[in-house]
Structure 1
Amino acid sequence: MPHLELASISKSFKSNKVLDDISLAADAGEIVVIFGPSGTGKTVLLRLIAGVEEPTAGTISIDDQDMADVAPEHRDVGMAFQNFALFPHFDAFENIATPLRARAQSAAQIKEGVARVAKLLKIDHVLSHAPRQLSNGQKQRTALARALASSPKLLLLDDPLRNVDAKLRFEMRLELPRLLREAKSTVLYVTQDYKEAMALADRIAVLAHGKFVQVATPEEIYRHPATVNVARLFGDPTINLVETVVGEGATIDLAGETVEIDKAYAGLKGRSVTFGVRPEAVALGDGAGLKAQVMAVTPLNERTVLLLQTKGGAELLASLPSSSPAIPKAESEVTISFNPIGSHLFDRETGATHAKGRA
């Protein structure tokens, strides 16, 4: 039985439909990341689950109980909002302690509970500070600590690391999964950062235009995106996309040159498609094949990104480990091919991924 279940949820504000008949089930202790660009309804969804807003249609169930008539304070839900929502007349300690006091815990339990999460989030040195004395990053971590302090059964986190500096954000990506699993809460975590989604999630639910377009593991989302838009959202550098037509024997036209692709696409002959290939799936060699010139070489820490241009003028990005012994120089010529793992065909009209081996 799922711990949290959303069934055909819709939410409209007057004539604006923000969420459109979406469903999702999350198991106890599972971390589900709600991912999507700004304005897609991610925060609205969390507010519905918390009971701050009511759905226009559909049901929200926690532990198989319909939440329609259950007040927010009785749902055993912890939530960290984007806008911090700290009590200005309380110091950081008292803000974090509020859910523990609501549960009538002893002074010793409250002190221990606040200290535990404050140390993890590196705000133990500012517990006596009022919110106005905290930086935005410290405010955000205080709000996150308050949500975590009582170890609720269901934890809703609305982009809690948005205002945290880059170094701490990286550290928290490593620490948060362990913390969340120790809390044994079911977690819905909203973010616009695909790296954060990949690092934290058991499953990712991609939200676009009011609907979930794909719900799957991080690896499945990256390796087998359901649509061209999902493919665009995950990856840096972004996926290469070329509009083309499938030719004889699983080939495509790439700026006037015939290129072989995965034989599993042979049944799509004549289809108008968008060919997508991840930069790391663009393989370089010096033998026979598609010739390209290296236009630019950009080192990016552990990866080096190449801008390539084929003889016909098509531009592609390739990504190589910076430790590769033979990274080509700018203006040199290379031969390229495409690894089937990381290469996709998308329907030109719908954007949906073509399944391999099917017409």
Structure 2
Amino acid sequence: MNTAITKNGLHAQAIRTAFGKTTVLHDVSLAVAPGETLVLFGPSGSGKTVLLRAIAGLDPNATGHVTIAGRDVTTAGPEGRSIGVAFQNFALYPHMSARENIASPLRARKLPEREIDEKVSAIAKLLKIDHVLAQQPRALSNGQKQRTALARALVGSPKILLMDDPLRNVDAKLRYEMRMELPRLLRRANAAAVYVTQDYREAMALGDRIAVLIDGHIVQLDDPERVYAAPASVAVARLFGDPPLNLVPCRPTLANDGLHVSVFGLDLTLSMAGALAGREAMLGLRPDSIAIFADPQPGAVAATIAAVTPLHGKVVLLLRTQAGDEILASQVGRAPETGSTIWFRPETDTALLYDTETGLLAGEARTATEEAA
């Protein structure tokens, strides 16, 4: 484990939580350095909020160890952990103004009134809510409530900052703006930050690293580019990308010039090791790595456009071959008409190969547990 993280950041080790006979977290470990944002990403029900509550000292059922800045706080309550928390449900005190909500952690520390006013004003200006400080939560918009909760979490300069999907309830425009603004705010706070989201785009935009949590296990922990380019399992691959990764059944064979797969009637050569040669596998192809042609081309397959869907400045095409195989492709520009014939060719430079039996990426040697330790 990185000694800088141990001395100055957050280290959660072997966190386990069960409700009755159901285990929600299975010995989860992670470490976050000061100034780093670790995004905890996963589907609903995977245990993300439960893990945050365990780190914050809010879950009496949790076992394991939590160390903050080199101090074991496993037995300490939330007030003894120097943690700032922002939840998606805002959790603002309804009888207090926005100013008093933000000031509440500073008052708990009995700071001088002048210092409290200065800190509250500074963070409110930074988050562009200084004009609503006198209002109570019921008079605030969802975006203003969220920024008030975030200001309250940040104002005390906590060593650890936990954010539970804080942008989920704000409108799309503000969410986009905050995705750009938050990284700067978090770097300025220099806290070890854990940010929960179910949105892979948000995870990519905000995370220095991403921990993918599925069914109470961290199944991949890496930088955003790596998680997107090489999902460690089929389960992760299905969560990253819109449209999602194409997964095409195949049985690779090894030849002198490399690993070969036969899909859509094409023989493709892959630039990867032959670990899965002769085994049932799935070829992973990103929709944007499917080249589209209006006319026949060498090495291209004819297909009918079964459906066209506009998406984020692109069009997504559902292609169906004469053999009945289907594949998703995406392209920028005007969409061909549904029912028309086009030709496509998979580009193999970014192709992935998964073991059908285990669901794991070929050649994936490191485990998430090893990376987190």
Q: Is TM-score (shorter-chain normalized) higher than 0.5? A: yes
Counterpart AA for 1:33: V
Q: Given the superposition, is the C-alpha separation of residues 334 and 100 from structure 1 closer, same or farther in structure 2, using an over 3 Å criterion? A: same
Number of aligned pairs?
353
Decide whether the 8 Å contact of 2:268 with 2:348 is kept in 1. Answer: no
Report the alpha carbon displacement of residue 222 of structure 1 after superposing the two structures with TM. Answer: 0.5
SS of residue paired to 2:231: coil
Distance 1:313 1:80 in 2: 49
2:36 to 30, 37, 50: 30
Query: Contact 1:294 / 1:329 at 8 angstroms: preserved in 2?
Result: no
* Alpha carbons of structure 1 residues 49 and 117: separation in structure 2 relative to 1, 3 Å: same
Pairing 1:64-213 to 2, within 5 Å after superposition: 64-213=70-219
Shift of 1:27: 1.2
Pick from 263, 271, 290 the counterpart of residue 254 of structure 1.
Answer: 263
> Could you say what secondary structure the match of 2:226 adopts?
helix
The match for 1:309 is 320
- Which among 344, 351, 355 is matched to residue 359 of structure 2? 351
Residues 21 and 338 (structure 1 numbering): CA distance in 2 closer, same or farther, change over 3 Å? same
- Tell me, in whole angstroms, the C-alpha distance in 1 between the residues paired with 2:268 and 2:341: 20
Q: For the structure 1 residues 207 and 68, does the alpha-carbon distance in structure 2 shift closer, same or farther, using more than 3 Å as the test?
A: same
Decide which of 262, 269, 275 is 2:277's aligned counterpart: 269
Instruction: State the Cα RMSD in Å.
Output: 2.2
Residue number among 242, 246, 261 corresponding to 1:240 in the alignment: 246
Query: What CA distance in whole angstroms lies between the structure 1 residues aligned with 2:311 and 2:266?
Result: 32
Asked if the contact 2:13/2:28 (under 8 Å) is kept, the reply is yes
CA contact under 8 A between 2:54 and 2:62: conserved in structure 1?
no
**Structure 1 runs not aligned, ≥5 long:** none
Residue 144 of structure 1 aligns to a residue in which SS? helix
Per-residue CA distance 1:27-67 (angstroms, 9 max, x = gap): 12111000001111111111111111145432111122211
Deviation at 1:263?
Answer: 4.2
Offset at residue 72 of structure 1 (A): 1.4
> Moved runs in structure 1, 4+ residues, more than 6 A?
none
Q: How does 1:56-67 map to 2 (within 5 A)?
A: 56-67=62-73
Query: Which deviates more from structure 2 when the two are superposed, residues 210-219 or residues 266-275?
Result: 266-275
Instruction: Please report the TM-score for the alignment, with normalisation by the length of structure 1.
Output: 0.91
Per-residue deviation, residues 319-349 of structure 1 (Å, max 9, x unmatched): 2233xxx865544443322223431111112
When residues 237 and 21 of structure 1 are mapped into structure 2, their CA distance, relative to the original with a 3 A threshold, is same
User: Is the CA contact (8 Å cut-off) linking 1:11 and 1:17 kept in structure 2?
Assistant: yes
**Farther off after superposition, 62-71 or 282-291:** 282-291
Deviates more, 1:339-348 or 1:183-192: 339-348
**Identity level (%):** 51
Q: 1:337 aligns with which of 332, 341, 345?
A: 345
CA positional deviation for 1:121? 3.0
Preserved CA contact (<8 Å) 1:290 1:310: no
CA contact (8 A) 1:79 1:147 kept: yes
- Stretches of structure 2 that go unaligned for 5 or more consecutive residues are 365-373
Worse-superposed segment, 236-245 or 220-229: 236-245
1:85 is displaced (CA, Å) by: 1.6
TM-score by length of 2: 0.88
In 1, are the aligned partners of 2:308 and 2:318 still within 8 Å (CA)?
Answer: yes
Aligned partners of 2:354 and 2:219: how far apart in 1? 14
Does residue 321 of the first structure (1) align with residue 332 of the second (2)?
yes
